[in-house]
Chain A
Amino acid sequence: AQTVTQSQPEMSVQEAETVTLSCTYDTSENNYYLFWYKQPPSRQMILVIRQEAYKQQNATENRFSVNFQKAAKSFSLKISDSQLGDTAMYFCAFMNGFYNQGGKLIFGQGTELSVKP
């Protein structure tokens, strides 16, 4: 069974600085997808960034980038130039790439990030 582990329950960062959130996962599959979701106090779960396991290149979305280390099964999220609006719970998530697995998105326990002015 696949598992996702986020070892940092809480983190804080000063506005404009850079912060990295850690995520490791365990799977025996070779074809899968990884995601980072953000959930602010408004409750909406928002997709931040995604990575396909077969792609070597790390995904980047504006101030958000990932460090995907497939052999180490690590998928960390780097937030550059942190903004107050980045304050949220961040979930790392895994999805098997084979559709007959039922489309289950497996979440880590989350990291609560506070950006301080």
Chain B
Amino acid sequence: DTEVTQTPKHLVMGMTNKKSLKCEQHMGHRAMYWYKQKAKKPPELMFVYSYEKLSINESVPSRFSPECPNSSLLNLHLHALQPEDSALYLCASSQESGGGVYGYTFGSGTRLTVV
């Protein structure tokens, strides 16, 4: 299995809702990442988990809450989002923190719309 699987593919939520994005990989990668991407812009790093511990938080608002229950799974819990949070949320993994020469493997993303 050489994939990073993200669910759901599309999500529409109201500003008072609570929802979660899920990311799963079975490649034995020990680092996982959340990125946010606006249309026609590069991805922006949000969080890095290394060996199931949060190692980087890029000053992301607390309405985004990451969780890494085990080495294969990464969640992003969403609460009280704003319309400007509408974006493509990408999950990625790498063999080790730092990615090394192999770079990241990305999922196909969750398209989030906040109404």
Question: Which residues of A are interface residues toward B (Cβ below 8 A)?
Answer: 33, 35, 37, 42-47, 50, 52, 89, 91, 93, 95-99, 101-105, 107-110, 112
- On chain B, the number of residues with a Cβ less than 8 Å from chain A's Cβ atoms is 30
- Which residues of chain B from 89 to 107 have any CB-CB distance to chain A below 8 Å in the complex? 90, 92, 94, 96-107
Is there an interface contact between A44 and B41, defined as CB atoms closer than 8 Å?
Answer: no
Give 27 pairs: A residue, B residue, CB < 8 Å, sorted on A. Answer: A33-B101, A33-B103, A43-B88, A43-B109, A45-B43, A47-B103, A47-B104, A47-B105, A50-B102, A50-B103, A89-B40, A97-B98, A99-B97, A102-B97, A102-B98, A103-B33, A103-B48, A103-B99, A104-B45, A104-B48, A104-B56, A105-B103, A105-B104, A107-B42, A109-B42, A110-B41, A110-B42
Beyond contacts A37-B103, A105-B99: 11 other A-B pairs, Cβ-Cβ < 8 A, are A43-B108, A47-B105, A95-B103, A97-B98, A99-B98, A103-B31, A103-B48, A103-B55, A104-B56, A105-B45, A110-B40
Q: When chains A and B are docked, how far (Å) is the Cα of A5 from the Cα of B104?
A: 20
Q: CB-CB < 8 A to A108: which residues of B?
A: 42
Question: Which residues of B are interface residues toward A (Cβ below 8 A)?
Answer: 31, 33, 40-43, 45, 48, 50, 55-56, 88, 90, 92, 94, 96-109, 111
